[in-house]
Amino acid sequence: MKAVVIRRYGGVEVLQYEDVEQPKIEPTQLLVKVRASSVNPIDWKIRQGMLSLITGSKFPKILGFDVAGEVVEVGSQVTRFKPGDAIYGSTSFPGGGYAEFAAIPENLAVLKPTNLSYEEAAAVPLAALTALQALRDQGNIQTGQNVLINGAAGGVGTFAVQIAKVLGAQVTGVSSTKNLDLVKSLGADRVIDYTQQDFTEDTAQYDIIFDAVGKRSLSQTKRILKPNGIYITTLPSPEVLLESVLTAFLPGQKAKFLFEKPNVKDLLFLKELIEADKIRVVIDRTYPLQELAAAHTYSETGRAVGKIAIAQPI
């Protein structure tokens, strides 16, 4: 099968489009014909070696966590799927989605939302689960709360704005000038243009600040966070790690970070919201698998609006 593999850590030049052996599935896995995947920052961070302590030195590796496609084979213990089912979901760490076929654990997949293309469906899992679990599980979001999303036009941020609205919050989205209208269209009650105003100097106060791009810390945002407010980030910097430990044992404001945990229950919840037209998927660009290096390069600029999809030939 065709796949993009890496045989060492490094820049985009280590991404090689080549023939590799098709994966063999375990009893609890599905063999999926991958119709689409997507790019998440963790993909190129793994490629660069930033997570090498976790991902190790065994090569070759196939990256890519998000998958949408068709089931072609099921393991002997699989009960929820059959060949021909259209699914979306996540691969096991550290990936496998950048390939013609992928082995997907049954407990990380659900039927694809009927109103999404494969490219749109593949843009959902990691980013939308991150937004949902950050707001609901880490933030304990409540109806009527004031929530600020930093990076509201990004992959995680576009989902976070919509999910926060579904969960009943008043949402302020922070983005650049060119994306303000998009953030409003996603349901934000208020927008802040970071090119004109530092959101940490806002006059409002928030119950939750979700830093979907990992640019700030609790100490930088505490002035606009309510006394018992929660700061959540997707990037656990040393400062945030220290703040999370210290605030865990003290009353008042909290700092938290999130490691997304794919699971069937949350994927089904997102599927229901999508099929009810309560969440839409924003895709900036779509690249064919053989142009994955260009997709990674674009993602690394930090300028992508919504998600970057990776399409496979039928």
- Judged on CB neighbours under 10 Å (0-12, 13-18, 19+), 75 is middle
Contact 304, 285 (CB under 8 A): yes
| 256: region left, alpha or beta (phi > 0 left; psi from -120 to 50 alpha) | beta
In the chain, which residues have pLDDT < 70?
A: 313-314
Tell how strand 225-233 and strand 206-211 pair up: parallel
Report all structural domains of the chain as residue ranges with CATH numbers, in order of start.
2-124+281-311 (3.90.180.10), 127-257 (3.40.50.720)
pLDDT of residue 314: 61
pLDDT of residue 240: 79
Contact 150, 216 (CB under 8 A): yes
Residue 108 burial (CB count, 10 A): 21
pLDDT tens per residue across span 284-313: 999 999 999 999 999 999 999 999 999 986
pLDDT of residue 40: 97
Sequence-ordered alpha helix ranges (H) in 84-174: 118-122, 125-132, 155-166
Contact 15, 95 (CB under 8 A): no
Residues 6 or more apart from 194 whose CB is under 8 A from it? Answer: 174, 175, 176
Cα–Cα distance measured from residue 282 to residue 170, given in angstroms and rounded to the nearest whole number: 21
- Residue 243: which H helix or E strand, with range? helix 238-248
Tell how strand 29-39 and strand 86-90 pair up: unpaired
Amino acid at 288: P
* Of 218, 208, 213, nearest in space to 239 by CA: 218
Q: What CA–CA distances, in Å, run from 17 to 7, 31, 102, 249, 289?
A: 12, 20, 15, 49, 8
Structure tokens at 314: 């039928």
* Angle formed at CA 136 by CA 130 and CA 139, multiple of 5 degrees: 95
Structure tokens at 199: 């959101």
Cα–Cα distance measured from residue 124 to residue 174, given in angstroms and rounded to the nearest whole number: 21
Q: What is the dihedral of CA 4, 32, 20, 3, to 10 degrees?
A: -10
pLDDT tens per residue across span 23-57: 999 999 999 999 999 999 999 999 999 989 889 99
Cα–Cα distance measured from residue 229 to residue 161, given in angstroms and rounded to the nearest whole number: 18
pLDDT of residue 33: 98
Q: Is the pTM of this model over 0.85?
A: yes
Rg (alpha carbons) of the chain, rounded to whole number? 19
* Angle formed at CA 52 by CA 48 and CA 57, multiple of 5 degrees: 105
